[in-house]
Structure 1
Amino acid sequence: MTVKLSSALNRCKISDRDAVHIIIAVAESLGHNVNDIIVNRSSNKRHREKIRWNLATEIRDKFSVTNLNSLVLHWDGKLLNDLCSKQLVDRLPIIISNNGNDQLLAVLKMLNGTSKSQAEAIYQTLVDWGLTNHVKAMCFNTTVTNTGRIGGTCALLEQWLEKNILYFPCHHHILKCTFDTKFDITSGPNVSLFLRFQKSWPKINTENYKSGIDDRFIFEKLQNSIDHILEFCLNQLKLSHFREDYREFLELTVIFLNGVPPRGVLFRAPGAIHHARWMSKALYTLKIFIFREEFKLTQKDYNSISSICIFLVNLYIKVWFNAPIAAFSPRQDLEFLKNIFQYKTIDEELPKNNLKKFVNHLWYLTSDNIALAFFDKHIPHETKTKMAFNIKRIDTENFDGEEYYVIKNKRIYLDFNEVSNFIKNKKIEDFVTTYSIL
């Protein structure tokens, strides 16, 4: 059993028993006498376990904390199939990042997904790797398990590490929580409109598509930003994306704006419908509107689909693909909040639902995280000068208009009724205080 063979069997999810049959068949086809080869499930299992253990030990031994000053700690619990049974188990991958480099520390099997269990597992992993003094920030999903004020995973880790740590919540998760639509509310797994489109797909002539901006209403709303959005999407398509649905989202947006993606105009068959994954809803929405002449829509559905398409193309796509860039987060959050509020001129219902969710996730506008904006290349030099000036001011002078919100548990809490005043009176430099450089 070699390292390469073991890795191939693991990657293809071949069980120890099935691996024996494959190895014997390959050995026999290569002219070996299988009676001279000791191959059975037990020995195969021991060799594969030994190879995995040696690889893990080698990775640990090569890892050095010498050049590590500031680390960002990442974790995200997932339900995955168990390696030894057909049951689903709670797995907790733990990763650190530093200066563009990532290191997987562990993928732990959890007995439960409570905040204390998560915190204990993460803390022990940091101790085992000797990283407790290097963690400066944490990246996590904004679930109550992680963000609870007293017993959340983040709060417990800060207590046990005995230091204040920056909170960098996952921006993709925030945007997923924010995305909402006006489709039928259902307790079932499918949206009725999407399911009908999925069943109609074999009958749809994919050559008979129309861009979104052929619709007069959509063209009027997007005409000033079409070229800018197309340029952004085409630049993003030059990059590699670890998920194919990300690329499909970009390509559908280009087609929606009457452009041609680098791979040409191609349409994938509609995939699975997930309430938990907004991306599937976005892909369905764009496809339905592009094939509006092939797929019958009621006037109500037509209006809903067109409104959501404008929201996706004009507001959402840029913030989604820029979400991993932490330096852009403060500016993007403030701009996104303003854009959602202004979207009510197109649709009154959709922005209301989005706003109610997004105002609960203003993590990057706190005095701690606002300092990231100094590294945002899209913020003018004049604005950064004002930001630097606010650092030197007496702290109490930096909170003009703070009656609109409160800062608690490392995020801004904004009353929904005060959103209008907040948007009108707050600029990016207003969030900078003397605490922004501590």
Structure 2
Amino acid sequence: MSIMTVVCLKSATREIKLGVVRCKSGSSQDVYDALEKIIDEYDAWSSIKMILCDTTTVNTGRSNGVVVIIQRAMVGKGLEMPQYIGCQHHILGRILKHVLDFYVSKTTTKPSLNYKFIDELLENYKELQSEYKAETEMDVDENPGWRDDFKFLYELCKAFQHCKKHAAFPVIKWRKLPSLHSARWNSRAIYTLIASFLLPSWRSVLELPACFIAEKWQEAWFSAQKFKETTYDNLLLGIIKLGCASALKGLKTHWSTVKQGTITA
């Protein structure tokens, strides 16, 4: 089955969309072959200084991932090897999964299984809203350009921060529960924060991951998606404080500030 991939060249001041390429399949070689054609068409090899993509194995495989194939090709052309930078939202999704797995036990390793608190929310969301007792008002700035799940996540983070600061539950606009598709791990952040408000029996279990989400994690999530030392450092400190080794490894592997080593053509 063929897939479509968008190819862009981007600097700090300009973004050029080279086009949309059709790959014969989702294999790393077929993805590279399609990319190679459009890069050749625009003679853009020398313009590539970094490679930004998600962290799937097809892209980041150590031996035959798309990133390695591109790096190897560029070294073979006598060009400087480009730095790989993982998509920040994708990395943050992986970090969130590690953190929740660390704090919330599962009865199976099947990736499709929800955490128990998510099942409770799905089954009783409407009733739980009616039982919630708000104690204070709060102001939340809205971004009209955000889709609904981004708005909900932002509002819940602000509500959690407000609750911690004032020791009172704020009025919250309860929106539709987001999709639990595996490609949208940020939805688990929404469910975690909702559970911290609507499920009293889960508050102690979710307190630390919810704090992490509403503070360090959301700071990175709502950043401009351009690398900033302070954003990285704050996220790093937050993960270290949690003591979640797998999340720390994921951050250092895919969002490292260390320049990569050489590669042989």
Q: Quickly name the TM-score band, shorter chain normalised.
A: 0.7 to 0.9
Matches for 1:282-293 after TM superposition, within 5 Å = 282-292=189-199
> What is the DSSP-based 3-state SS (H/G/I as helix, E as strand, rest coil) of the residue aligned with 1:273?
coil
In structure 2, relative to structure 1, the CA distance for the partners of 1:103 and 1:198 (3 Å cut) is same
Give percent identity, aligned residues only. Answer: 19
Q: Distance in 2 between matches of 1:200 and 1:136?
A: 50
TM-score, L = length of structure 2: 0.77
SS at match of 1:157: helix
Query: For 1:360, what is the secondary structure of its paired residue?
Result: helix
Q: Which has the higher contact order (CA 8 A, sep 6+)?
A: 2
Residue 241 (structure 1) shift: 4.2
- Tell me the CA shift for residue 325 of structure 1: 1.9
Paired residues of 1:171 and 1:323 also in contact (CA < 8 A): no
Structure 2 residue aligned with 1:172, among 58, 83, 89? 89
Aligned to 2:106: 184
For 1:194, which of 118, 128, 139 is the aligned residue? 118
Alignment of 1:159-238 (within 5 A): 159-161=72-74, 162=77, 163-164=79-80, 165-179=82-96, 180=98, 181=100, 182-186=104-108, 187=110, 188-206=112-130, 208-210=132-134, 237=141
Contact kept? 1:89, 1:109, Cα under 8 Å = yes
Q: Retained in 1: the 8 A contact 2:196–2:207?
A: yes
Cα RMSD (Å) of the superposition?
3.1
Letter in 2 for 1:171: Q
Q: What is the rounded CA distance, in whole Å, between the counterparts of 2:42 and 2:144 in structure 1?
A: 31
Residue 288 and residue 192 in structure 1: after superposition, are their counterparts in 2 closer, same or farther (change >3 A)?
same
State yes or no: 1:113 paired with 2:35. no
- Consecutive unaligned residues of structure 1, counting only runs of 5 or more, are 1-87, 214-229, 345-350, 369-406, 411-438
Q: CA deviation at 1:362?
A: 4.4
Change (3 A) 1:156 1:284: same
Q: Distance in 2 between matches of 1:97 and 1:118?
A: 20
- Residues 209 and 290, structure 1, Cα contact 8 Å, conserved in 2: no
Amino acid at match of 1:355: L
- Indicate how the Cα distance of structure 1 residues 143 and 269 shifts in structure 2: closer, same or farther if over 3 A, else same: closer
Distance 2:119 2:84 in 1: 39
What is the aligned counterpart of 1:314 among 191, 201, 215?
215
Structure 2 alignment gaps of length 5 or more: 164-170
Q: CA deviation at 1:269?
A: 2.8
User: Following superposition of structure 1 onto structure 2, how do residues 334-413 of structure 1 map, counting pairs within 5 Å?
Assistant: 334-344=233-243, 351-363=244-256, 365-366=257-258, 368=259, 408=261
Query: What is the CA–CA distance in structure 1 between the aligned matches of 2:123 and 2:2, rounded to whole Å?
Result: 33
Structure 2 residue 147 is the aligned partner of structure 1 residue 254: no
Deviations 1:56-86 (A, max 9, x none): xxxxxxxxxxxxxxxxxxxxxxxxxxxxxxx
**Residue 124 in structure 1 maps to residue 37 in structure 2:** yes
Counterpart-to-counterpart distance in 2, 1:245 and 1:339? 24
Preserved CA contact (<8 Å) 2:2 2:22:
yes
Listed as ranges, the matches of 1:66-77 within 5 Å are: none
* Cα separation, 2, equivalents of 1:317 and 1:183: 23
Determine the C-alpha separation between the residues in 2 that align with 1:210 and 1:266: 11
SS of residue matched to 2:179: coil
Question: Partner amino acid for 1:255?
Answer: A
**Distance (Å, rounded) in 2 between the aligned partners of 1:202 and 1:143:** 36
Match for residue 167 of structure 2?
none
Q: How far is 1:312 from its partner?
A: 0.9
2:86 and 2:255 in contact (8 A); partners too: no
- Structure number with bigger Rg: 1
Please name the residue that 1:91 is paired with. 4
Q: 1:153 to 1:304 in 2, by over 3 A?
A: same
SS of the residue aligned with 1:359?
helix
SS at match of 1:104: strand
Alignment of 1:243 onto 2:147: yes
1:184 partner letter: K
1:331-358 alpha-carbon deviations (Å, 9 max, x no partner)? 43333223322234xxxxxx23422433
Indicate yes or no: 2:62 matched with 1:138. Answer: no
**Aligned counterpart, 2:232:** 333
Q: Secondary structure at the match of 1:270?
A: coil
> Equivalent residue of 2:162, what SS?
coil
Report the Cα distance in structure 2 between the residues aligned to 1:272 and 1:239, rounded to whole angstroms: 21
TM-score, length basis structure 1: 0.49
CA contact (8 A) 1:210 1:290 kept: no
SS in 2 for 1:266: coil
For residues 246-280 of structure 1, what are the alpha-carbon distances to aligned partners after superposition, in whole Å with 9 as ceiling and x for unaligned? Answer: 22111111222337xxxx84111323323442211
